[in-house]
Amino acid sequence: MTRRRSRVVILLFASAREALGRRTLDWPVSPDGVRADALVRALARTYPRLGLALRASRFVHNGEYLHDLSTPIRPGDEFAVHPPYGGG
């Protein structure tokens, strides 16, 4: 299995991006994947500066907003963190 395929690409937007100073993370996952809620908890533990942004965020899995955080996130998937933001 390649490095990319054993990982999830995490896209960070707005305050989540600012908290880490980067746009993406490559996150290792088991071949069986991980539930979205467990992934969010692991991100908060690993990157405490993300905590506030994660609590207020919406999450997108492979281009679809998640309404159920028990959704499995599998290797090769894309998981985006969208904190509240505005524009104009």
- Tens-digit pLDDT profile for residues 11-54: 999 999 999 999 999 999 999 999 999 999 999 999 999 999 99
Q: Which amino acid is at 59?
A: F
Residues in CB range of 53: below 8 A, 6 or more apart: 14, 15, 16, 19, 81, 83
Sorted by where each starts, the structural domains of the chain and their CATH numbers stand as 4-70+77-82 (3.10.20.30)
C-alpha separations of 17 from 3, 51, 65, 72 in Å: 23, 12, 18, 23
* Whole-number Å distance between alpha carbons of 57 and 70: 16
Q: Which residues pair with 58 in a beta bridge?
A: 82
| Model confidence, pTM | 0.89
